Chains A and B, each alone.
Chain A
Amino acid sequence: MSTRGSAIFDGGRIVPLLILIAVVLALAGAAEFAPTVVQRRITQGLINLVAVVGLYVFVGNSGVLSFGNVAFMAIGAYVSALLTMPAAAKGVFLPDLPAFLAATEWPGLAGALAGGAAAALVALVAGFPLMRLSGISASIATFAILVVSYVVLGNWTSVTGGQNSLMGLPIYVGLWTAAGWAVAAIVVAFLHQESRSGLLLRASREDEVAAAASGVHMVSHRLAAFVISAFVSGIAGVLLAHFLGTVRVETFYLDLTFLIIAMLVIGGMRSLTGAVAGAIVITLLTELMRLAEIGVTVGDMTIAAPGGLGDALLALLMLLIILFRPNGIAGGREISWPFGPATPTTETQPRKPQ
């Protein structure tokens, strides 16, 4: 235990973690002074950050794209909603709820952990067959998870309310709750990638055949990452639900899937720094776009960007990144001191090991 702990502090490996945490806290700190609307956007951005980091845990380390993580968000959101909603609200929205659920009113944290755990459990069961598939087959199978969860949640009316929104969830997620969970998600992702299982999984990402020759049992390490990834995504869903105060099945489908994947791709899916950078950069850009769409008023004239420009730009940005910088903003590296993704590509520079 102690040797493993010290590995994390060895050779400045922990530096990226500290920087990423500092960035998140600085962002939240800055938002503290911003107008309420902006503050809410940043809060939502931090929730998205949790979702992107959750997706990264699996995608970044395994090299297999997952389209299914938003399903884990949905599972987290609904489980937490069912466990934490006031009994009175459940009586209104879910009259047919089984009795043992109808009366439960768990505290927020317990509901959140249960939501994450439920998502992790589903990932464990679904992942067991799926993680054996290779590359593109596995990705398509994760898309099936998304579709199945969408259909089930949308039609299981007695428990989820079906197509109707669930309202009256305790709203306990504000700026600092979101920031706290964002830090927690980053820590979890970092510990996983520095763990033995994380290293072996990344080896199999680089070369499955050579990893097998090194005795790596890829399937089990993939499954472990998938389960952790689902837990963090589940938490992101919980946060979103308790930020908005409502849950709708429509929230957790293609739009959100696209947004979260775009954030990861643009930031760079091969490093935790990339995941965090993608979430933050896209959040800030979207916010700028929103302001542009509202426009500036000069005298009695309003100059505004056309509506929908934000989404189009996001798609365009992703396309450009895929074409010209396939490893994203972070370029597959972790951030290092001094500030900024400063570590140059080491291709040509010999460097002494620490």
Chain B
Amino acid sequence: MELAAERVSVRFGGLVANDDVSLAIAPGEVLGLIGPNGAGKTTLVNILSGFQRPHAGAIRLAGTEMTGRKPGAFARAGIVRSFQAVRLFRGLTVSENVEVGLVGRGLGRAEARRRALALLADFDLLHRAAQPASALSYGEERRAGLARALALEPRFLLLDEPAAGLAAAEAEELKRAILSIRERHGCGILVIEHNMALVMSLCDRIHVLGGGRTIASGRPDEIRADPAVRTAYLGSTAA
């Protein structure tokens, strides 16, 4: 029942963005994915969500080979990702942004709307429901992105820097939201995050990338103590 990348590699020209990376997310687990800028974190999420086909290696969902399928197929299989830049449907209303996932799963529009409003209420966005998504503030945009992702009923949720640019209080709120998502939906969650305090307190396990390779993987306390991780963050990547 896990989502796994098995020895995946991706090259962009001469640049190896992911080099023989293996990682697995179990249901109900919050896995942190960290590493310096350009380490290949987003690329790995792209691979795990079908947006990037690995040049080597495979993606499996509960043992089923997913490699080479389209992003839509990943989404329909319950692998849902957010974007570093959120990418809301800016010309649609906030409610419609959430309805898209619900309607795509086969719900009628009225039922989709009811559920969308419930989801928006969870993220304290109900008062914004009828407005265009382009009207949202940055923090609201991030929350709307989460609501939109949840509308897809993820089995695995891949979040690319969900707390980027959020104030401390908002980040704390986001952490609670992520934990309650796990609680309520039981999904496996992968979080890319640069805020170390947040990652350490949020995640059950952490996977560290540097220069496209796995540097370390383990519990937060193990990662905190790992010398290779410290080196990576000081800049001299172990590539």
Interface residue ranges, A against B (CB under 8 Å): 3-4, 6-8, 10-11, 194-196, 199-200, 202-203, 205-207, 209-217, 270, 332, 346-348, 350-354
Known contacts: A199-B103, A270-B91, A346-B131. The answer to whether A3 contacts B110 by CB under 8 A is yes
Q: In the assembled complex, which residues on chain B have CB atoms less than 8 Å from the CB atom of A4?
A: 108-110
**Do A215 and B104 have beta carbons less than 8 Å apart?**
yes
**Whole-angstrom CA separation of A88 from B138 in the bound complex:** 70
**Do B127 and A346 have beta carbons less than 8 Å apart?**
no
**Do B80 and A207 have beta carbons less than 8 Å apart?**
no
**Whole-angstrom CA separation of A6 from B112 in the bound complex:** 12
A325–chain B nearest beta-carbon distance, Å = 16
Q: What are 22 A-B interface contacts by the 8 Å CB criterion?
A: A4-B109, A6-B110, A7-B109, A7-B110, A196-B103, A207-B87, A209-B51, A210-B88, A211-B89, A212-B70, A213-B75, A215-B75, A215-B101, A215-B104, A216-B104, A217-B72, A347-B135, A348-B135, A350-B128, A353-B95, A353-B130, A354-B130
**Do B92 and A213 have beta carbons less than 8 Å apart?**
no
**Whole-angstrom CA separation of A348 from B132 in the bound complex:** 11
Interface residue ranges, B against A (CB under 8 Å): 49, 51, 70-72, 75-76, 80-81, 83, 87-92, 95-97, 99-101, 103-105, 108-113, 117, 126-132, 134-135, 148, 152
**Do B130 and A351 have beta carbons less than 8 Å apart?**
yes
Q: In the assembled complex, which residues on chain B have CB atoms less than 8 Å from the CB atom of A209?
A: 51, 83, 87
Q: In the assembled complex, which residues on chain B have CB atoms less than 8 Å from the CB atom of A216?
A: 72, 100, 104
Known contacts: A194-B109, A353-B95. The answer to whether A212 contacts B75 by CB under 8 A is yes
**Do B110 and A10 have beta carbons less than 8 Å apart?**
yes
**Do B129 and A214 have beta carbons less than 8 Å apart?**
no
Q: In the assembled complex, which residues on chain A have CB atoms less than 8 Å from the CB atom of B51?
A: 209, 212-213
When A and B form their complex, what is the total count of cross-chain residue pairs whose Cβ atoms lie within 8 Å? 113
**Do B100 and A214 have beta carbons less than 8 Å apart?**
yes
**Whole-angstrom CA separation of A106 from B163 in the bound complex:** 66
| Interface core residue of B75, B104, B127 (most chain A CB under 10 Å) | B104
Pick the residue among B128, B135, B148 that contacts A214 (CB under 8 A). Answer: B148
**Do A332 and B91 have beta carbons less than 8 Å apart?**
yes
**Is chain A's interface secondary structure helix, strand, loop, or mixed overall?**
helix
Pick the residue among A203, A346, A347 that contacts B89 (CB under 8 A). Answer: A203
Q: In the assembled complex, which residues on chain B have CB atoms less than 8 Å from the CB atom of A346?
A: 130-132, 135
Known contacts: A346-B132, A347-B134. The answer to whether A213 contacts B109 by CB under 8 A is no
**Whole-angstrom CA separation of A329 from B224 in the bound complex:** 58
B239–chain A nearest beta-carbon distance, Å = 29
**Whole-angstrom CA separation of A194 from B81 in the bound complex:** 26
Q: In the assembled complex, which residues on chain A have CB atoms less than 8 Å from the CB atom of B87?
A: 207, 209-210
**Whole-angstrom CA separation of A8 from B49 in the bound complex:** 34
**Do B71 and A213 have beta carbons less than 8 Å apart?**
yes
Q: In the assembled complex, which residues on chain B have CB atoms less than 8 Å from the CB atom of A352?
A: 127
**Do A199 and B88 have beta carbons less than 8 Å apart?**
no
Known contacts: A10-B113, A199-B96, A332-B91. The answer to whether A215 contacts B72 by CB under 8 A is yes
Q: Report the nearest A residue to B126, measured CB to CB.
A: A353
**Whole-angstrom CA separation of A194 from B92 in the bound complex:** 12
B233–chain A nearest beta-carbon distance, Å = 30
**Do A206 and B131 have beta carbons less than 8 Å apart?**
no
| Interface core residue of A212, A213, A353 (most chain B CB under 10 Å) | A213
Known: A207-B90, A215-B75, A346-B130. 4 other contacts (CB 8 A): A7-B110, A202-B91, A205-B91, A207-B89
**Whole-angstrom CA separation of A203 from B111 in the bound complex:** 18
Pick the residue among A3, A200, A207 that contacts B111 (CB under 8 A). Answer: A3
Known contacts: A200-B104, A212-B70, A215-B76. The answer to whether A206 contacts B90 by CB under 8 A is yes
A41–chain B nearest beta-carbon distance, Å = 34
Q: Report the nearest A residue to B82, measured CB to CB.
A: A213
Q: In the assembled complex, which residues on chain B have CB atoms less than 8 Å from the CB atom of A210?
A: 83, 87-89
Pick the residue among B99, B111, B128 that contacts A199 (CB under 8 A). Answer: B99
Q: In the assembled complex, which residues on chain A have CB atoms less than 8 Å from the CB atom of B105?
A: 215
Q: In the assembled complex, which residues on chain B have CB atoms less than 8 Å from the CB atom of A353?
A: 95, 117, 126-127, 129-130
**Do B110 and A203 have beta carbons less than 8 Å apart?**
no
Known contacts: A212-B72, A212-B75, A215-B75. The answer to whether A203 contacts B100 by CB under 8 A is yes
Known contacts: A210-B83, A214-B101, A217-B72. The answer to whether A196 contacts B91 by CB under 8 A is no
**Whole-angstrom CA separation of A55 from B41 in the bound complex:** 43
Q: In the assembled complex, which residues on chain A have CB atoms less than 8 Å from the CB atom of B127?
A: 350-353
Known contacts: A212-B71, A348-B135. The answer to whether A206 contacts B91 by CB under 8 A is yes
